Structure 1
Amino acid sequence: MEAGQNPGVRAQGRWVTAVGQVLGNFVVSLVVGDALQSTLVGARNWRLWNWPPFAVVLGLGGAALLRTPEGPGDQFLWPYLLIGTAGLIALVRVAGIRGPAGAQALASALSVALAVGGTVWVEQLRSHGEVDVTGLTTVAPSRPLVDGERLVVAVDGGPVRTHLRLVLGVDDAVPDMQSCTPETSLALRLGGGSNTVTGVRSGRPVDMPLGGARDGLRVTVTVHTDTGCRMNVFVVDAVLHG
């Protein structure tokens, strides 16, 4: 026994520590419950606990991939990234990498949440994502046009969307005898609409609101070029979105 140390003081200190532990366990039991506390403590050693979230993530990811609509691939980057991250987290959990029980439970919940978010995003793109409809367009008349003449670009088919992004190309009908493309512009008006987009150059995208979901689109195009020039007008790209 060290000099000057009272045995009664040491005994009192041990008693206070024991009481503190009992009170601490009692408070934890009141807050999280005995069953949940026991589950969290043993979760790191119970690998079966990791399989249900992994199965959910795998199922949601597979469903999202199967239900991916057609359209430009870049619009699927973020939902695929969410699903891929969810799968990676779930795979790490199944592999049994150890860590604090609370962190493991949070990782499982996060993986499921990310998978749900990616799947919902894919479903949103099915209804509002971009769809390439260039192959569904027709141009009439298909002959070369002179200044002031008009043609109609028709989009028949494709999903219902609220906007059309159209890119038209213009080139010289007789390139050996004229060079009118740089000075040629187009004016576009959606059929049934009152707004006209003017000064459109070859290759410039024009985004036109459709005034609500609709199909069977008609866009009237007026050619503005120098006198004597004959121009070919064609569709470079047509995308429905929104």
Structure 2
Amino acid sequence: MAENENTAMEDTKDEEADDGGLDVEKVNLKSYSKIILFYPLLVYSLIAMVIKVTGEGLPEPDRPGLAIIWIFIFFINASIVGFDFPAVKFFVLFLIIVIVIMAIILLDNAGIINFLAFWQGMREFFDMSLDSRFYAWMSIALGFLIGVAFLQGQLNYVVIEKNELYVNKVVRGQADRYPTSNLRVKMDLVDIFEFLTLGAGRIKLIVDGEDSFDLKTIPLVKKKKRHIDELLSATLIEKEE
């Protein structure tokens, strides 16, 4: 029996570790600047830099479309940071893109346009202007900005415990504590691209109907919200008992 109980306890610990390593006694909420959503562009800039450096002796056609792909990723990332795309807008945008692609295919098949020739011209134009130094400097700049945003998120955070809400703002030298007895939590998936990129969204904490904290760009926001609900439910049950 003792061995079975020990095994069950070990399995429970493993399940908690697999569920993100969150302590059931508290939930940490860290809000980040949207600049962290530029991480795909950082990764691609590093890859493109390596390809450019290792293939400097090769003709341009052997490194096709690097710059066009970079500009495409930059456009997507800038759109995510600059605008909010709710689910409705996302599907409308997706529908427009599908219609444009189908129109290009039909026009190309009808001989009205020559898409391959256009693509070849665009590829050569952009690859002529973006060399390895461009990708290197962009990697440095993006890495620095994302690093600062990550550090800022580590310094300013909110901790929800069973009986207390702790708001820490290191930069301002401020730390506030509130009871969780009347805490209300609202989750909002403001941007579908933000959610697809990092599983991120917004959580709004309302204390006693007066003070509120709007935390934006929280990674894995659905998982965080689930843990908050479980924590507050457990607290309510303990009080009733």
TM-score normalised to structure 2 length: 0.24
Question: Which structure features the higher share of helix residues?
Answer: 2
Structure showing greater radius of gyration is 1
- Higher RCO (CA 8 Å, separation ≥ 6 residues): 2
TM-score normalised to structure 1 length: 0.24
